Structures are given as structure tokens and as C-alpha cells.
Amino acid sequence: MSRSSCFDSTSFDKASLDNAGFDSASFDVIASEVYEHGFSVQASALPLALAQKLHARITSLPPEAFERAGIGRNNTHRHNQAVRSDSIRWLDDSSSIDEVTESAGSQDGAQDSADLSADSEWLRWAEQLQQALNRRLFLGLFSFESHFAHYRAGDFYKRHLDAFKGQASRTVSLVVYLNPDWDEDCGGELVLYRDRDDQSGIQIMPNFAKIVVFLSEEFPHEVLPATCDRYSIAGWFRVNTTGFGRIDPPS
Ligand code: OGA
Ligand code: MN
């Protein structure tokens, strides 16, 4: 497989648009690119129907459903607007398949169960990707956490790593973009640096249904300010770090 396409985000727009369902071929392509290069960028690879549902979901959430993003979760959580200024909403286990099944039969409105089904379909999709990565890369990925992110005009996330060697259980990072008809003039590129010394990086437009996957400890990256609202989901596959005094995943 030619790897040069990895470095040219424009060429991804010519990728095949097989959005009929959960496409195991695209999981395999992602897994083998991550295996070879540590990262993969796939245009229009999230099933279109799922991307549309998630777009409807994220744009219908009221501002108070989001929180100012911090750096890290739980005891490492702190707000640092010098580093990032986006707003996030964690997807949690309450949007699991069981809950959807329960709420579908309850008095909840159709909109609520539609929302939950978008979340649970997303989690199912991510689980399939996790399985493909485990099969191909033997990573032992064990759990997944993700959040919706909304960058308003001017919002940014400065250069960072999602995990640090030795301490972190975040192993693989995943970002999908939920911006129909993203205008290049809006900016808001993800810049993925190949290693700590890389200062130029690869610029990736946040186009609708595009998927970016990379090894969390290896690739510094940043989100450049946009002039338009920018919607995405960021997620992390983790390995199990249960040990003395610590249960994984954290509750
Ligand atoms: C993150 C992140 C990238 C993006 O949330 O950690 O780096 O393109 N997001 O939104
Ligand atoms: Mn990140």
C-alpha cells in the first residue's frame, strides 16, 4: 500500500465512500496504517448515517450540556485555558446499549432514544475498531473513553501529547469530525507532528466523517483556531492499568 497518501490530507477526499455500514475493510486499513506508520487519516470513513446522527446530536445539545475542557481526567483534571479553550461533553456508560434498550420501552421521548442510539452506535463502532486494532496490532486495548468537542470561533488546543510514556494507559487516540461542508477558509486544522522534533507537521482539515487515529504517546498534535464552529468527537483506547491501589477503568 502506498504510504504517501498518509501525508497528504487532500488525497483522502478521493477515498472510496463505502458508508453502507460498519465497514470492516476500513477498520483493517486503519489498523495496518497505524501498524506501519503509527497513524492513519481516512476521509469519509465514519459511516455516513452515523456521522449524520452524531452531527444532529452534538448540534442539538444546549451550551450548558458542555463543560470547559480541562487537561486530563479525574485527579489530574484542571482547567487551563492557555492550553485549550474548547468545550466538551463526555460520553459515558449511561449511553450504553442496555440503557438504550430500556429507554426505548419507557416514557422517554423519541428524541431522547434517538440521541442515546447515536451515542451507543458510536460506542459500538468504536468497539469494532478496538477489536480490529487488537487483532492486527496485539495492543491489548481494553476500554474506550470519548467526548464530544465544540470549538467556537477562536478556540484552540495547543501542541500536546494525549499520553506520556510510562504512566499513561491511553494508547490509541481517535478523532472524528462532524462538520458538513467544512470551508477551508475556516481553518481549524489538526496538526499532527511525526515526532517530538517535528515542527511543521501534517495539516488535517476537520471534514465531515473523517477519521484520524494515532498512537497517543508518539504524536504531538494541536488544533489551530477556526473561524467557524468546529465539532468533533475525541476518544482514547486504553490498556488495563489495574494495579496496587488503582482500579481500571476509573469510575
Ligand atoms: C484532543 C485533540 C484533536 C482534534 O481532544 O485531545 O487533540 O482535531 N483533538 O479535535
Ligand atoms: Mn489530543
Ligand 1 atom nearest the C-alpha of 204 is: 8
User: Is the CB of 119 within 6 Å of ligand 1?
Assistant: no
Cα 5 to averaged position of ligand 1 atoms, centre (Å):
21
- For residue 202, list its beta bridge partners: 192
Helix, strand, or coil (residue 194): coil
User: Residue 1: what pLDDT?
Assistant: 39
Given a cut of 70, whether residue 183 has pLDDT beyond it is yes
Query: Going from the N-terminus, what domains does the chain have, and what CATH number goes with each?
Result: 18-239 (2.60.120.620)
Cα 158 to averaged position of ligand 1 atoms, centre (Å):
10
In this structure, the residue with its CA closest to atom 6 of ligand 1 is 162
The residue that leads in pLDDT, 159 or 24, is 159
Residue of 233, 201, 202 whose CA lies nearest to 11:
202
- For residue 243, list its beta bridge partners: 246
The residue that leads in pLDDT, 62 or 115, is 62
Query: How many Å apart are CA 22 and CA 45, to the nearest integer?
Result: 10
Cα 242 to averaged position of ligand 2 atoms, centre (Å):
23
Residue of 230, 226, 212 whose CA lies nearest to 148:
230
Residue of 34, 37, 41, 38 whose CA lies nearest to 15:
41
Question: What single letter denotes the amino acid at residue 234?
Answer: A
DSSP 187: B
Probe ligand 1: pick from 54, 172, 190, 191, max atoms within 8 Å of CB?
Answer: 190
- The average pLDDT across 28-47 equals 96
In this structure, the residue with its CA closest to atom 8 of ligand 1 is 190
- Tell me which of 5-19, 67-81, 189-203, 223-237 is least confident: 5-19
Rounded to two decimals, the pTM is 0.82
Cα 109 to averaged position of ligand 2 atoms, centre (Å):
35
User: Is the CB of 226 within 6 Å of ligand 1?
Assistant: no
Cα 102 to averaged position of ligand 2 atoms, centre (Å):
34
The residue that leads in pLDDT, 19 or 220, is 220
pLDDT in tens, 58-108: 999 999 999 998 765 544 555 677 899 999 999 975 544 444 444 444 444
- Sheet of 190-192: strands edge to edge? 157-160, 221-223, 190-192, 202-204
Cα 222 to averaged position of ligand 2 atoms, centre (Å):
7
Question: What single letter denotes the amino acid at residue 166?
Answer: G
User: Is the CB of 149 within 6 Å of ligand 1?
Assistant: yes
